[in-house]
Amino acid sequence: MSVFVANLDLGGNGPRVAIKDTIDVAGVPTRAGSRALDDAAPAAANAVVVERLLAAGYHLVGKANMHELAFGTTGINAWTGTPLNVRFPAFVPGGSSSGSAVAVAAGLADVALGTDTGGSVRIPAACCGLFGLKPTFGRVSRDGVMPAQTSLDCVGPFATDMDALIACMRAIDPSFGALPDTAGVAIGVVEVEAKAEIRAAVEAAVAAGGFATGRVGLSQFVPAYDAGLVVINAETWAACGELVATGRVGEDVARRLLAASKTTAADVHAAEAVRAAFTAQVDAALREFTILALPTMADAPPLLAEAADTSKLVGMTSLVRPFNLSGHPAIAIPLPGPGDFPMSLQLVAAKGHDELLCAVARQIAGRLNQR
């Protein structure tokens, strides 16, 4: 199924965990799903998050496949193969952390680590019917994670249930404390463009949680999406641009990288102004409401048979990428639906309030399971 690029048998007898191939495991090359890194030397040391998982007794079962160089949203990879979305096989698995999501969905791992620069944990979680968390930017160590320099990327866990996800967060983030009480929580539903049945499922899930609700408009949301693309283009070109000259980068990613190379300092400066404005707007909304809610994806995932040109499908991240720009923690929660395609609720909390975000997500998920 092209889920693992390397099988592992490391650690204790605890939960099985898969590690995305941008995260160093000592003795194993970190290739980021790219033939251009085929001759990479084995990692000299474990990433901090890997060390913490091992210390907590987790059992590492594999380095997970991914969208090449973490620069794509579908999870399609012509070199390493594309992991099959086992729960929704007609659809792409989502990227870039495709193998991490599929490993959990297929039961090959109990939890997995991915990275999320523009939705790369939340999108595969949504596509594969899983929980996926992007923590507050900077909260979880990125030492030993590609790329070394980023203002967007976060390491986060996938799981089939909130308890497993929370336990994994506790392992990788020693500061992750007890979950707070959810009494008095109010949820602001963000007004966004999305398929009608997805909006209805989101509304139903928020109502099932039993929280007070209201409406939120974020005028900077679409500009923040565009600005997030500018920043990721500049940072990914800086990190990976030199690989294009090898001629071994996949065509779709090479095309996106060459387009990204045209990003100017003025573009980035303008994007940073949007970052400041959008961050302030989200912070203000989170002073009015404890949590913000919106769909994780605005539409069904692309059909696998129609997703060959991944450069045209970046819009999959229209509702997730803005929160990479702002740095707020965000979680994807699978929603019950007619079964034709996966649907997912996204919750967002104030920075540093990852525990509260998980507490609210667990309450909503629990209520949905009781229906």
* pLDDT tens figures, 123-152: 999 999 999 999 999 999 999 999 999 999
Distance CA 106, CA 128 (A): 10
HSE-up of 325 (CA within 13 Å, CB side)?
34
Query: Is-catalytic flag, 175?
Result: no
- List the catalytic residue out of 96, 98, 326, 344: 96
Q: What values do phi and psi take at 335, rounded to 5?
A: -115, 145
pLDDT band at 315 (very low <50, low <70, confident <90, very high): confident
Question: If you average pLDDT over residues 252-278, what whole number do you get?
Answer: 97
Number of domains in the chain: 1
Produce one character per residue of 98-112: b if its CB has 16 or more CB atoms within 10 Å, e if not.
bbbbbbbbbebbbbb
Instruction: Supply the pTM of this predicted model.
Output: 0.97
pLDDT score of 279 = 98
pLDDT in tens, 343-364: 999 999 999 999 999 999 999 9
Task: Name the active-site residue from 34, 120, 318, 344.
Answer: 120
Question: How confident is the model over 78-124, as pLDDT tens digits?
Answer: 999 999 999 999 999 999 999 999 999 999 999 999 999 999 999 99
Mean pLDDT of the chain: 96
For Cα atoms 14, 18, 23, give the angle at the middle one, nearest 5 degrees.
120
| Domain harbouring 46, CATH code | 3.90.1300.10
pLDDT at 306 (0 to 100):
86
Q: What is the tens place of the pLDDT at every residue in 159-179? A: 999 999 999 999 999 999 999
Strands 111-116 and 154-159 come out as antiparallel
pLDDT for residue 310 is more than 80: no
Q: For residue 349, which of 362, 337, 336, 339 has the smallest C-alpha distance?
A: 362
Region 290-318: mean pLDDT is: 87
Sign of CA dihedral 229, 234, 235, 239: positive
What per-residue confidence (pLDDT) applies to 14?
A: 98
Confidence of residue 338 (pLDDT cuts 50, 70, 90): confident
180-194 pLDDT per residue, tens: 999 999 999 999 999
Give residue 312's pLDDT band: very low, low, confident or very high (50, 70, 90): low
pLDDT of residue 121: 98
**For the chain, what is the radius of gyration of the CA atoms?**
19
Structure-token match 């609700």, residue found: 213
CA separation for the pair 74, 24 (Å, rounded): 23
Among 24, 26, 63, which residue's Cα sits nearest to residue 47?
24
3-state SS track over the chain: CCCEEEEEEEECCCCEEEEECCECECCEECCCCCHHHCCCCECCCCCHHHHHHHHCCCEEEEEECCCHHHCCCCCCCCCCCCCCCCCCCCECCCCCCHHHHHHHHCCCCCEEEEEECCCCCHHHHHHHCCEEEECCCCCCCCCCECCCCCCCCEEEEEECCHHHHHHHHHHHCCCCCCCCCCCCCEEEEECCCCCHHHHHHHHHHHHHCCCEEEEECCCCHHHHHHHHHHHHHHHHHHHHHHHHHHCCCCHHHHHHHHHHCCCCHHHHHHHHHHHHHHHHHHHHHHHHCCEEEEECCCCCCCEHHHCCCHHHCHHHHCCCHHHHHHCCCEEEEEECCCCCCCEEEEEEECCCCHHHHHHHHHHHHHHHHHC
Residue 20 is among the residues annotated as catalytic for this protein: yes
What is the span of the domain harbouring residue 303? 4-370
Q: Is 120 a catalytic residue?
A: yes
Asked if residues 179 and 362 have their Cβ atoms less than 8 Å apart, the reply is yes
Specify whether the CB–CB gap between 300 and 341 falls below 8 A.
yes
| pLDDT computed for residue 370 by the predictor | 82
What phi and psi, each to the nearest 5 degrees, are found at residue 8? -130, 155
| pLDDT (tens digit per residue) in 195-205 | 999 999 999 99
Residue range 4-30: average pLDDT? 98
338 against 273, higher pLDDT: 273
